[in-house]
Each structure stands twice: as C-alpha cells, then as structure tokens.
A and B are shown apart, each in its own frame.
Chain A
C-alpha cells in the first residue's frame, strides 16, 4: 500500500507535507495596529468587574495566551478583584507579597475610608504604583511588565511596576574595546542604561525624557540631554523626528536610527551608535543628545560628525602623542581599506613607472601563469575575503579556527599554487582586510567596502585619474551631508582649536575649552582659559 501511495504521489506531484497550501486570511478585522483609537474614544474601564474581566480576557486572548496570568481573589467583605500580569516579565514575589497578600488581608473598610484612595495609600506596598482609567494604558503597562489590579465597583485600575524579567548583566564592551577608560557597556535594560549614564554625568540638569516608539509595541526609550547645554532647536528636531515615526513594532534602536536619518541611500552612516556609557556621557557634556531604547544595548548619539566616527574611545583617555600616533595608523588603515586595491590596479595597469623596476619584474613574474586579469583576480579575492568575514560572524566560536585554516590555507596558499591568483594580490587583499578591521565604527567598515569596489572600478578604467575623480566626488558628497542640521564634515578638520570636538589631530584635554561651535550649545565654555591652575600657582 505504501509503495502504491508513493507511486501515486510521484505521478501526482504531491508535496511531502500532504499538500498544505497557505491560504489567504478571510478577515483582518480584529487586527490591532495600535492606531485604532487615534481619532476615536479610548475604551474606559467600567465599574463592573465582570465586564472588565471579560474585556481583558478577550484583549489578551486568555487562556489561549499561555503566559498571561489572571488571579481572581476577594478582599474583605467579599469585594471582587483580579490581578493580571505576564508570567516571566514580573517578579512573582512582589505580586504575592506586595499586592495580593495586603489586599486579601485588608481589614474592614469602614465609612471613613474611601476604598479607591485607601488601596493606593494604605494597602499596596509598592513604591511605583499608579491609577489608570483606560484599557489602552493598562494593556501597555501589562505588556511592559507591570501588574494590573481591577477592583469591583471602581472605574479604574491600579498598575504596579513589578518588572522582573531576566536580562544580561553589565558586561565589557565588545565593539568598542579600549584598554583605557571605563570597561562597562550598555545592557538591554533601559533604566540600567540610563543609570549608567547618570552615574557619570552627575547633574540634575540631565534630562531623561520618556519616548514611546511603535504604535503597537510602544517600545519605551529615553532621550537624554543636558538641559542648560543642549541646543533647544536640536532637541526639538530630534523629538519631532522620533514622534514622527509611525511603525507598528520597533524591535531595536537600529530601527529608530534607520527611521530618523536624513537619507537612506547614502554610503556613509550619519548616526553614531555606541555601546559605551562613557562615550555617551561625553557626548552629552558636549551638548549632544543621546537616545536609549529598552531592549537595545546601544545608544544613538545625535548629531554626529565624520571625524567622530573615525575616533576611538581610547583617544580621549590616552596621552596626546600616543592618541595621535594611534589615529595616524587608523587613518592609514582607512586609506588602505578603501583605496589600496584600486591604486594597485591603477599602478599596474596604467602607471608602471611608479613601481620600482625590481618590484615590477617580481609582480610580472608572479602573474606570469595566472589566467585572469588583475581586475578579475582582485575582485575574486575580495569576494572570497568578504565571504570568509561574513561566515566568520555566524560561525560558532568553537569552529571559528577551522574557518581561519580553511581561509588561510585554501584561499591563500592553494589559490597561489593553483595559479588562480598571484601572491601580490593576496598581499593586497590581506592589507586591505586588516585595514578594514582597524576602522573603529563598524558601519563605516561597510561604507569602505562599497567605496573600495567603486575605486577598483575607477582605478581599472581610468587609473589614478579615475581614483582622483572618485575621491573628490565622494569628499564633496560627504561635505554636503548634514546630521540633524549639523555639517557632517566639520569646519575644523585638522585641529579643533580649543574646542572639544573631534578633529584629525587629537588636542590635549586642557585645550578643550569650548564646546563644538557647530552644536551652538547654550553654554559654550567647557573649562576656563587656564584649566590647569596649578601651573600658575606658587608652590
């Protein structure tokens, strides 16, 4: 019989899953896009607990929704109540000891007490409790880890912040590692992250403005800025853009970054992301704003300049000469990452005279039996390198070394032995790859990868002339960009001249007297003209 079925299926071309076909949904009428109540009335809480119970059950699809907990209980004199929360998002001890127990053990309400006031004032032993009157707010609070208590006869609900979900502890930074400076990185908890910044910027002028992004997810975040420093119009603009985001679910802060940036089709990222609280704090003291989002271990620093993306966290903690040396190496790395393959092609195809004669012989000899042109060779190797890099990101750490061996041996040695590529191409790609890892900002690495391909094309068609044209067009394009109204390429490129802004050359800390001019901060002076007063004072 089985054999017969198999033969039948073979001829009928039946699929293995029994012919399942995804059908279109009949109706999406009950879909919650979070925008239903924008113009209409917000459903209010009723005095009848049964109605409230039914409404909440329906809204949270209970009991189909397995992690929703609804605990019904009675207060003294038989007043019906129910407490609702999401299992795993709250600390059940808080709910038991701080909410249900005191309410169950509630003694008689006599005439002199008003039940609604007394519950809040006398019996709920929780510091962050609030009264809500509409279902939308209640649902939002429950979704964010609060417990809601409905009491019969009251047209309100008590919401208690009993959040207690599992989260990562404060860890070391991974993308922005530095030997110097604090070794803390943001986690996924919004309040922990804002506290990490507040721990550094100890001023009551530091504002943590609450924002909610996502019509359905209502993901919470904070916009942080120093009130008497940050430019009001900058904060207004950030607020306007954040409030202007209309999407149902915001999963991570990167979603927000993509939604608020000026243009989506630019090769260079215009919003700087950091995982270091100290960097975020420093940006705040300069007059910038920082956006944190619950569930995201990164902060957005707004606005950003091109040189800020090139700077490393350790630049500010190191002695000036060391920092400048490190920065010089980094600039060279960027140059190699972006231009080396293109320049190699330009030199070998058009400008042989640049290459020393002996090296030219050597290159020529090494390429003797290679069947591909230099251009194809370079593109092949670049593609192979990018594949290894991309695979390395997803590969479990335990077999990461295997990838290194495969990449190193097969793509390096074997490709040369097989005369598919020349050794010089391997060297060029290796230097380019190392250069791209020396770039501090990860997104900038992507920009350089795209630019590298463009420069390879220009170098192979027009030599140095093409590369020069490409450089100047890209430079003008970057010079034309703005990040939240601020020029992306700062006016002071080489030296910051007494201003605390990123420049190509790192200035001593005592020279950071004023805040960046382009930020037009409310208070410009960051430190007095003579900040090292001990130099002037007598011993």
Chain B
C-alpha cells in the first residue's frame, strides 16, 4: 500500500464524519468558534499521531504483536471494538442522509438493503482495491467540494463567526479537546500501516493525512459557521445537505444537493469497505481464522442489524457521542497496551 493510498483513506474517513453530523457537535460546544476547535483538535491529533506513530505505523498490527494468547485476544477485541465503533458511528447516519436528500419517497429499508449489498460486494473486493479507488475518487471529490464551496461565498456572512471565541475560551480550547475523536479513524492505520512499503512512509502518511484532513475540516467548519448563524447550526443534522441547499448556480440551474450525496455515497462505500476488511483482518489475526469472506459477511450482517435498529435521528445523535468516546477510549487503551508490550519485549531480549 502506498503513502498516497493511506493519506486518501485517512482524509476520506475524517471528511465523511465532517459531512455527516460532526460539525453540529462541535458547533454545539464551541458556538461561532467551532472552526477554532477544529484547528485545536487537528493540532491535538497531530501530537497524538506523533506520539503513537510507532503504534499506528508499526510493522505488525497489535493483534499480531501480542505473543501471549490472552493478551492477543484482549488487544484484538479492543481494536475490533474501536474499529466497529467508528464504522457504526459513520454508517448509522448514512441511510437517513440518503433518505432525506435523495430518496424521500423510498422506504429506508430498501436503502439499507441496497447499501448493505453494495458494502458486502465491495468488501469482497478487498482493501487493496478500495485503497486504489480511494486515490482516484478522493482527489476528484475534494476538488468538487472545494469548487462548490466557492459558491457559498455569497450567502456567507463574516458576522456569523463572531464573537470570535464563541462559547468562551474554556469551551473552545479545553472542552473542545474531546472532539479529537474526529480523528479516531486513524486507528485503522494500525491494521493498514503494516502493509505500507516502509515504516517511514506509513508515518509520513499518518501525519499528512491528519494535516490535510484537519485543514479541510477547519475550512468546511468555517464555511458552515459563516453560512449558518450559531443557534441555527445546532439544529442542522446533515451539514453538507444544509450547505448545498444554499449554493446558487444562477437562474438557469437547479439545486445540486443530490449530486453531493452522490459523491458522499461513493466515498462512504469505499470507507465501509476499508473498515469491514480491517475488522475482518483483526478478527482473523486475533482468533487465527482463515475464512475471510465468511467473517466479512458476518461483519456486514452485524452492520445491517445496527442500521435497521437505529432508525431515529435523536437516538443516533445520543449514541454517536458514546461511540466516539468508546472509540477514543479504545485507542488510548490500545496505545498504552502497545507501550506495555514493547517494554516487555525489550526486557525479554535483555
């Protein structure tokens, strides 16, 4: 796997969250200074990535590294939970967003069925194919989104991001640190990083992935905050949809929010494909299993159950915060476990 592929995977994961529901959470906390929180969070994520670079970009995944059976199972399970929490978190909002933006008159179960079928077929193709397609679709998607964002300059108001420190310095800078969970997805590099040509390449991919996605997230947030004044921001569940409704193409053009959802669908299936494969690989390594396709089928079936159960937006928003925390906690625990394992290994060698 190349550096470019890993960067694209990271950027896709973070941007998907930003386009789904995350800006609302940040805005609720930081008010008009949500974009500042994004920058702070990016810096915090960079620091974390720098510290846990060895863990994320090692030659082996943590489930591979553990020699003791019990430790391996515990570490593997924790990694699976972290990955699953991230996947479910992003996936749960997706069918609702499709229904709201694109298929208002279709049954949500039909949308879920189509999505699950696509994710299943895509997952069988493997993570390598998905990574390659990421490198093709991501630059195009980012270019389209940036170009479209230029159309938002007209409805944007600078006054909407004042007061500059929004809900207060403490809220923006300290409480805002919780939103480092925006970058939870980089934990997937623990599984994929080992496929990279070299450790240095993987590390570079990690740092560049965080920088690029952080910059894009901050730009998105500032645009969002400028278009929608603070109290309104809190009521928007799907920020990308809300923003695209404000784009003006002139008298002779229609509205293009369905096209943005089209792009998000492309990116989401690729994202889900990477995650399903990463979880399958972790489960395989943890329990020494060989039947990859069966594991993939079971994971996708599990995802389907979650998607069918999570049919209320309020429930999703509530669950989402917990899942972000769970994933963040799992990441912290795994990093600590990694340090422990390394120390034990060194002692053994001595």
Which positions in A face B, CB cutoff 8 Å? 350-351, 353-358, 360, 462-469, 471-473, 475-477, 479-480, 487, 489, 491, 493-494
List 18 A–B pairs whose Cβ atoms lie within 8 Å, in order of A's numbering. A350-B258, A354-B254, A354-B256, A354-B259, A356-B253, A356-B254, A357-B254, A462-B110, A462-B111, A468-B265, A469-B115, A469-B118, A469-B269, A475-B133, A475-B137, A477-B125, A489-B133, A494-B136
Nearest chain A CB to B180 CB, angstrom units: 30
Asked if B142 is at the interface (CB within 8 A of a chain A CB), the reply is no
Q: Are A494 and B139 in contact (CB under 8 A)?
A: yes
Nearest chain A CB to B142 CB, angstrom units: 13
Assuming A465-B261, A493-B135, what are 8 further A-B pairs, CB within 8 angstroms? A354-B256, A356-B253, A358-B252, A462-B106, A465-B111, A468-B263, A475-B136, A494-B136
Inside 8 A of B253's CB, which chain A residues have their CB? 356
Asked if B266 is at the interface (CB within 8 A of a chain A CB), the reply is yes
Q: Are A351 and B258 in contact (CB under 8 A)?
A: yes
Inside 8 A of B28's CB, which chain A residues have their CB? none
Nearest chain A CB to B140 CB, angstrom units: 9
Q: How far is the CA of A462 from the CA of B114 in the complex (A)?
A: 9
Contacting residue for B103 out of A356, A462, A472, A473, CB 8 A: A462
Nearest chain B CB to A232 CB, angstrom units: 24
Q: Are A476 and B103 in contact (CB under 8 A)?
A: no
Contacting residue for B126 out of A351, A480, A494, CB 8 A: A480
B107-126 CB mask vs A (1 if < 8 Å, else 0) is: 00011001100100110011
Nearest chain A CB to B103 CB, angstrom units: 6
Inside 8 A of B115's CB, which chain A residues have their CB? 469
Q: Are A493 and B136 in contact (CB under 8 A)?
A: yes
Q: How far is the CA of A376 from the CA of B114 in the complex (A)?
A: 23
Q: Are A491 and B118 in contact (CB under 8 A)?
A: no
Task: Enumerate the 3 nearest inter-chain pairs by beta-carbon distance, A residue then B residue, closest first.
Answer: A468-B265, A479-B129, A476-B125
Interface size on B, residues (CB 8 A): 40
Q: How far is the CA of A471 from the CA of B98 in the complex (A)?
A: 16
Q: Are B2 and A491 in contact (CB under 8 A)?
A: yes
Asked if B181 is at the interface (CB within 8 A of a chain A CB), the reply is no
Q: How far is the CA of A479 from the CA of B130 in the complex (A)?
A: 8
Contacting residue for A463 out of B103, B130, B252, B269, CB 8 A: B103
Q: Are A476 and B255 in contact (CB under 8 A)?
A: no
Q: Are A489 and B132 in contact (CB under 8 A)?
A: yes
Most buried by B among A353, A476, A494: A476
Q: How far is the CA of A287 from the CA of B45 in the complex (A)?
A: 45
Q: Are B262 and A464 in contact (CB under 8 A)?
A: yes
Q: Are A472 and B266 in contact (CB under 8 A)?
A: yes
CB-CB nearest in chain B for A487: B132
Inside 8 A of A463's CB, which chain B residues have their CB? 102-103, 258
Inside 8 A of A491's CB, which chain B residues have their CB? 2, 132, 135
Q: Are B103 and A465 in contact (CB under 8 A)?
A: yes
CB-CB nearest in chain B for A472: B269
Per the 8 Å Cβ criterion, residues 89-107 of B in contact with A are 98, 102-103, 106
Nearest chain B CB to A290 CB, angstrom units: 27
Q: Is the interface of A mostly helix, strand, loop or mixed?
A: helix
Nearest chain A CB to B49 CB, angstrom units: 25
Q: How far is the CA of A477 from the CA of B124 in the complex (A)?
A: 10
Q: Are A351 and B102 in contact (CB under 8 A)?
A: yes
Q: Are A465 and B139 in contact (CB under 8 A)?
A: no
Given A468-B262, A476-B273, A479-B132, also A353-B254 (CB < 8 A): yes
Asked if B257 is at the interface (CB within 8 A of a chain A CB), the reply is yes
CB-CB nearest in chain A for B265: A468
Q: How far is the CA of A476 from the CA of B261 in the complex (A)?
A: 20
Q: How far is the CA of A58 from the CA of B337 in the complex (A)?
A: 84
Given A464-B102, A477-B125, also A355-B254 (CB < 8 A): yes
Asked if B57 is at the interface (CB within 8 A of a chain A CB), the reply is no
Nearest chain B CB to A375 CB, angstrom units: 16
Asked if B278 is at the interface (CB within 8 A of a chain A CB), the reply is no
Q: How far is the CA of A356 from the CA of B249 in the complex (A)?
A: 10
Inside 8 A of B254's CB, which chain A residues have their CB? 353-357, 360
Inside 8 A of B273's CB, which chain A residues have their CB? 476
Q: Are A465 and B265 in contact (CB under 8 A)?
A: yes
CB-CB nearest in chain B for A470: B118
Nearest chain B CB to A464 CB, angstrom units: 4
Q: Are A350 and B136 in contact (CB under 8 A)?
A: no
Nearest chain A CB to B19 CB, angstrom units: 14
Q: Are B135 and A471 in contact (CB under 8 A)?
A: no
Nearest chain A CB to B253 CB, angstrom units: 6
Q: Are A480 and B102 in contact (CB under 8 A)?
A: no
Most buried by B among A357, A358, A467, A469: A469
Asked if B270 is at the interface (CB within 8 A of a chain A CB), the reply is yes
Inside 8 A of B261's CB, which chain A residues have their CB? 464-465
Q: How far is the CA of A358 from the CA of B254 in the complex (A)?
A: 10
Q: How far is the CA of A480 from the CA of B122 in the complex (A)?
A: 10
Nearest chain A CB to B189 CB, angstrom units: 19
Inside 8 A of A466's CB, which chain B residues have their CB? 114
Nearest chain B CB to A270 CB, angstrom units: 15
Q: Are B135 and A476 in contact (CB under 8 A)?
A: no
Nearest chain B CB to A495 CB, angstrom units: 11
Q: Are A480 and B125 in contact (CB under 8 A)?
A: yes
Q: Are A473 and B121 in contact (CB under 8 A)?
A: yes
Q: How far is the CA of A372 from the CA of B202 in the complex (A)?
A: 56
Nearest chain A CB to B128 CB, angstrom units: 8
Nearest chain A CB to B112 CB, angstrom units: 11
Inside 8 A of A351's CB, which chain B residues have their CB? 102, 258
Q: How far is the CA of A218 from the CA of B135 in the complex (A)?
A: 46
Q: How far is the CA of A494 from the CA of B265 in the complex (A)?
A: 22
Q: How far is the CA of A469 from the CA of B265 in the complex (A)?
A: 7
Nearest chain A CB to B16 CB, angstrom units: 14
Q: How far is the CA of A466 from the CA of B135 in the complex (A)?
A: 22
Q: Are B257 and A353 in contact (CB under 8 A)?
A: yes
Q: Are B122 and A473 in contact (CB under 8 A)?
A: yes
Q: Are B258 and A464 in contact (CB under 8 A)?
A: yes
Inside 8 A of A471's CB, which chain B residues have their CB? 266
Nearest chain B CB to A517 CB, angstrom units: 11
Q: How far is the CA of A467 from the CA of B259 in the complex (A)?
A: 11
Nearest chain A CB to B249 CB, angstrom units: 9
Q: How far is the CA of A355 from the CA of B255 in the complex (A)?
A: 8
CB-CB nearest in chain B for A357: B254
Per the 8 Å Cβ criterion, residues 125-174 of B in contact with A are 125-126, 128-130, 132-133, 135-137, 139
Q: How far is the CA of A306 from the CA of B136 in the complex (A)?
A: 13
Inside 8 A of A464's CB, which chain B residues have their CB? 102, 258-259, 261-262, 265
Inside 8 A of A465's CB, which chain B residues have their CB? 98, 102-103, 111, 114, 261-262, 265
Per the 8 Å Cβ criterion, residues 253-302 of B in contact with A are 253-259, 261-263, 265-266, 269-270, 273
Given A350-B103, A464-B261, A479-B125, also A473-B255 (CB < 8 A): no
Q: Are A354 and B255 in contact (CB under 8 A)?
A: yes
Inside 8 A of B103's CB, which chain A residues have their CB? 350, 462-463, 465
Inside 8 A of A489's CB, which chain B residues have their CB? 132-133, 136
Q: How far is the CA of A360 from the CA of B106 in the complex (A)?
A: 22
Inside 8 A of A469's CB, which chain B residues have their CB? 114-115, 118, 265, 269
Nearest chain A CB to B217 CB, angstrom units: 23
Q: Are A350 and B114 in contact (CB under 8 A)?
A: no
Inside 8 A of A354's CB, which chain B residues have their CB? 254-256, 258-259
Inside 8 A of B98's CB, which chain A residues have their CB? 465
Q: How far is the CA of A480 from the CA of B127 in the complex (A)?
A: 10
Q: How far is the CA of A467 from the CA of B269 in the complex (A)?
A: 12
Inside 8 A of A357's CB, which chain B residues have their CB? 254
Q: How far is the CA of A351 from the CA of B253 in the complex (A)?
A: 13
CB-CB nearest in chain B for A493: B136
Inside 8 A of A467's CB, which chain B residues have their CB? 262
Nearest chain B CB to A354 CB, angstrom units: 5
Q: How far is the CA of A357 from the CA of B121 in the complex (A)?
A: 38
Given A463-B258, A466-B114, also A476-B133 (CB < 8 A): yes
